[in-house]
Structure 1
């Protein structure tokens, strides 16, 4: 199998594994970002990974967006050496998720930023709140939804109509 075929297979696997996952972002077919940890977590970090032309025979290029990135990158390099020659992106992402606490143990979070206004008053700003996470549907739920709706995604005409025959059997107003 050629290097390009291996990259294409791994890219397809990554897309199917991380479909709908907010943590995974494909920048290009050979460049990815993966957020380790929740948005509110002060120990969360972003891992940037790019594949060279000869990947997986050579190590991917990695960088981390955090203050303790040297520790993280050195630990990830150990994992890269152990997995060299195989498709390793899923393994690296999952290993980083599992070892997030040990990777970020020396991290000093920035809780609040203080800015000084021109009138010598200090204002405190807090980090932005996390957006509401959309509920992800499973494939089975998506299939059921498609089978119930038409090509425009609308329910068929009369889906909520009441059966007139059943109403006449239950009785209505007295016709005296």
Structure 2
């Protein structure tokens, strides 16, 4: 069989095996992502694999450069990649995607044994909320902008001291009794 026929057969197999599996994602017919571990697990990682033209006779391109893996130290990434490359060498010439994914799942603990999550700005979001709240408080202290028409109305209602006359917001009881009161028989 040619490399393309092997790739087509393996692609069909992967689609049927991982149908509905949220850990597996087919980016294109030759590029795949597989998440090892649960989303909440700090030792989870995302493996990107892209087939070369001559795959499975030659090794696929693998990477751990996804944003999901930003919290993993580069030493840990290098360890994972070297162990995966050993598996690729052992399986050259055969369809190996399923084997790689399952091997990584089975050996996740050993691969992530020395993993210490890297603290990034993304994890420090709560401390940024404090500055956001203080800037929001500063915005609230700022006076409301009025239009020229609103300013004219205020000036026409106020006296020379800038105060509203006594009773400016009183309700006219006589008008209410004519318009909004209950009718008496």
Do Structure 1 and Structure 2 share a fold, with TM-score over 0.5? yes
1:108 Cα offset (Å): 1.2
> Within 5 Å, which residues of 2 pair with 1:9-24?
9-24=9-24
Which is higher, the Rg of structure 1 or of structure 2?
2
Please report the RMSD computed on the Cα atoms of aligned residues, expressed in angstroms: 1.8
From 82, 92, 103, the equivalent of 1:84 is 92
CA distance in 2, matches of 1:105, 1:77: 18
Extract unaligned runs of 5+ from structure 2. Answer: 135-185
Q: Which structure shows the higher strand fraction?
A: 1
Length-normalised TM-score, structure 2: 0.61
What secondary structure does 1:118 align onto?
A: helix
- Secondary structure of 2:48's counterpart equals strand
The structure with the greater share of residues assigned to helix is 2
Of residues 109-118 and 8-17 in structure 1, the stretch that sits farther from structure 2 once superposed is 109-118
Any stretches of 5+ residues in structure 1 without a counterpart?
A: 122-176
Indicate the residue corresponding to 1:46 in structure 2.
Answer: 46
Which residue, 69, 91, 113 being the options, matches 2:124? 113
State how many pairs are aligned: 121
Shift of 1:113: 2.2
> 1: CA distance between counterparts of 2:62 and 2:115?
19
SS of the residue 2:131 aligns to: coil
